[in-house]
Chains A and B, each alone.
Chain A
Amino acid sequence: MPKIDFQSYETEGFFDETFENDKIVKPHYALFIDWLQKMGLKKLNMLQHSTDRVQLSMGMTFNVYSDNQGVERILHLDIIPRIISGQDWDLLERGLKQRIYAMNLFIDDIYNDQKILKDKIIPKELILSSSSYLKQCVGLKPPKGVWVHITGTDIIRGADGSYYVLEDNLRCPSGVSYMLENREILKRTFPEVFEKLNVRPVYNYSHYLRDMLESLSPVFPASIAVLTPGTYNSAYFEHAYLAQQMGAELVEGRDLVVQDDFVYKITTKGLKRIDVIYRRVDDDFIDPEVFRADSMLGTPGLFRAYLKGNVVLINAPGTGVADDKAVYAYVPDIIKYYLGEEMLLPNIETFLCDREKERDYVIDNISKLVIKQTDASGGYGMLIGPKSTKEEQAEFIQKIKKSPRNYIAQPTINLSRVPTLSDQGIEGRHVDLRPYVLYGSDINIIPGALTRVALKKGSLVVNSSQGGGSKDTWVVDNF
């Protein structure tokens, strides 16, 4: 029986989450690795296989958008967990809180007084030209002044082992259901070692989420709904999952109707009021009367009811302006401006193609950089310089020259790696980290995250739409 050893495991050139460069196991991984080696590869493969089956039977599937066939896939869950030490986690938590307080104040300011623009910290044109800036939200005062109730910040770890924020994701990010279900699955897969390590729990998430949603409505008990684009949406599993976990109604736009500026669901016994909507439909689509008129996913009048304070929308519309990748470059200034603090959790160095000097640098060094479209997400609209062809580079240079405002560039970061089960045994694969942050009366961060893993050897793209998988993330104190 093939034993698990890490003789041929490579750690050179990357930051490895598990091993030092001389292959000494890091203390927070010691217990798990020790236990893994006792188990053997055959048993591990068996456990992996049964995990795949559990995911299928739970219908944890998604459709891939670009795929006309509408092929149903599972998000591969690699059973070797990503383990984070409690100290590291506490650091991340402080950094995230700071960042989200500041981003929330920023959004509130942008749609109200625009002090940060008047003080010329950020160029006014940059904000007003953002495709995610919604003029319909000007003057909006959401309940308790909170705009970003739910955030899923993308964090990576570079070659030096420091954590960096890669993206803020302030528009109802997805993936939290995988964090919760991955944990359920792993608890069954590795019960003994899980118990010994005293992993910090995540099961409270849906309770906290429900409490947060309820706390935003003046109505008690508030009637809560999760608004989904429908079963064909790639995150539908999550929408249904969260509705079920919270005991909320799962609705589509066509299930709702607005009368006298109140929102109602259409039931077999007539109309019933809805007070809080956790909407997983993008801003552009929530209300055809105000935003995209061709939207079939929203409900006419929804925004009107929202402005009147008759329904709460989570997240508030308009938060996308702070997700703009050009705004990202200003986050250190934003934190300093609103909180008077230095940024705790650093950004990645970012070049704004809108600035001539930086643009020239980007064009000259395109083969070394990652180019991103400022209003895109999900791994789309980007070029990874070192992995691209000359033709692709030329194409992006044209795009940048045509609309420089829409592009930024960042150095290519060699994401950290975690041991991952592959056909060749256990090998290092690159990962990122997406913790979930709730903001109601105050900020609440659940000690866990979705770790996304690039399953292809050497790949740096962790997005589920492009061959990424996931791992459970364990925050541990006892090791």
Chain B
Amino acid sequence: MLSRVADAMYWMNRYMERAENYARFMDVSFNLSLELPPHVSEQWQPLVVTTGDWELYSEKHESINKENVIYFLGFDPKNPNSIYNCIVNARENARAIRPEITKELWAQINYLYYFVKNGLEKKIWVKKDPRIYFDEIKKGCQLFWGIVDATISRTEGWHFGRIGKMLERADKTSRILDVKYHILLPTAQDIGGSIDIIQWAALLKSVSAYDMYRKLYGKLTSVGIAKFLILDNEFPRSMLLCLEHTAISLRMISGNTNGYSNQAEKEVGMLTSQLVFADINDIISSGMHEYLDKFQIDLLKVAEAISDSFFSVEKNIAKA
């Protein structure tokens, strides 16, 4: 597969995953704001911190409010990570590799593109309740994944796509967990109180983990939720499972079955083992924020190694 095509496949999937995550975050934040007791102010800042866009946001806006945040994360053409731009970028990547994907998939991306373009024109962010809109984006993304899995052959391209999706997903799961620990950390009297529970439930819902978590643990506890989102090896959005899928795809690409055959496999392998042998109590006692921060840095190294091993023209020319 052309290295440019592999690169575009990776990014098309990454951007779609990002768009879906943002859409889900928005939906849940909105829900959360409805359920908070009257004396608690709406919390839109954590959302912007979660996505890692706080710096840009604070440059552009002086105040935090629902309308600004929804516009910034959902529509702002000047925010490179807004849902609008994620879809635009996914589409441009798809366009560049049009012969590698199916007609159905291309049509679905175009559907989403015209949907967000229309949303921008209709100024959805000033609407009182934009949830239907974000729900439609989420569904549109899920249909996209369904078409990917139902129509694309499991060749290199599919695996590069899955790697893009999994790395993005691991990153977003780690960030949303970090926000709850970092920013929403309740005061002593709130722990176990109604706000605390609402927030934990919202966190789970924002990564579609509520139902699966309940089934496995029953009771909502911070330790259980952290363990579920970081270390569960069956839940499709846990950080560990995302890494394991990445590792499998890398091996499918290289054909390697033992140890590692390139820098990307090495980085992913090392990070995966760290999670496989981790204990949630150690993570909490040594500092959740520090742990997640380090995870995100390691994830960046994985992404760099993948780009270097497969997308670099110079490296590929030099391969025998």
Contacts and interface: CB of A to CB of B under 8 A. Distances in A.
A348 interface: no
A268 interface: yes
Contacts of B311: 268
A56 B110 contact: yes
B96 A268 contact: no
Contact of B99 (A250, A265, A269): A250
Contacts of B106: 58-59
Contacts, number: 72
Interface string B1-34: 1111010000000000000000000000000000
Contacts of B320: 270
Given A268-B156, A270-B319, A58 B110 contact: yes
A58 B311 CA distance: 28
Contacts of A265: 2
B243 to A, nearest CB: 21
Contacts of B156: 268
Interface string B247-290: 00000010000000000000000000000000000000000000
A251 interface: yes
A364 interface: no
Given A252-B4, A266-B313, A268-B156, A240 B110 contact: no
Given A57-B110, A268-B253, A269-B319, A255 B99 contact: no
A254 B313 contact: yes
Interface in A216-261: 230-231, 236, 240-241, 243-244, 248-252, 254-255, 257
A39 interface: no
A231 B8 CA distance: 12
B6 A268 contact: yes
Contact of B95 (A231, A249, A269, A271): A231
B298 to A, nearest CB: 23
Interface string B156-169: 10000000000000
A237 B111 CA distance: 17
Given A231-B92, A240-B95, A243-B99, A267 B111 contact: no
Contact of B107 (A57, A249, A254): A57
A267 B110 contact: no
B210 interface: no
Nearest to A270: B319
A251 B2 contact: yes
B154 interface: no
A57 B105 CA distance: 10
Interface size class of B (residues with CB under 8 A): 20 to 34
A267 B3 contact: yes
A59 B253 contact: no
Contact of B1 (A57, A241, A267): A267
Contacts of A59: 95, 98, 106-107, 110
Contacts of B99: 240, 243-244, 248-250
A241 B235 CA distance: 39
B310 interface: yes
B4 A58 contact: no
B40 interface: no
Nearest to B114: A56
Interface in A32-70: 56-59
B316 interface: yes
B98 A250 contact: yes
A59 to B, nearest CB: 5
Contacts of B6: 268
Contacts of A271: 316-317, 319
Contact of A231 (B96, B253, B316): B96
A267 B2 contact: yes
Contacts of A249: 2, 99
Contacts of B61: none
A50 to B, nearest CB: 14
B103 interface: yes
Given A56-B114, A59-B110, A254-B313, A268 B3 contact: yes
A237 to B, nearest CB: 8
A6 to B, nearest CB: 36
Interface in B137-171: 156
A268 B98 contact: no
Given A240-B99, A270-B316, A57 B4 contact: no
A266 B95 contact: no
Given A231-B96, A240-B99, A255-B4, A268 B107 contact: no
B103 A268 contact: no
Nearest to A249: B2
B103 A266 contact: no
Contacts of A243: 98-99
A271 B315 CA distance: 11
A58 B108 CA distance: 9
Given A56-B110, A265-B2, A266-B313, 19 more contacts: A56-B114, A57-B111, A58-B103, A59-B95, A59-B106, A231-B92, A231-B96, A244-B99, A251-B2, A257-B317, A268-B156, A268-B253, A268-B310, A268-B311, A270-B317, A270-B319, A270-B320, A271-B316, A271-B317
17 contacts: A56-B114, A58-B103, A58-B106, A59-B95, A240-B99, A244-B98, A249-B2, A249-B99, A252-B4, A254-B4, A257-B317, A267-B1, A267-B316, A270-B319, A270-B320, A271-B316, A271-B319
Interface of A: 56-59, 230-231, 236, 240-241, 243-244, 248-252, 254-255, 257, 265-271
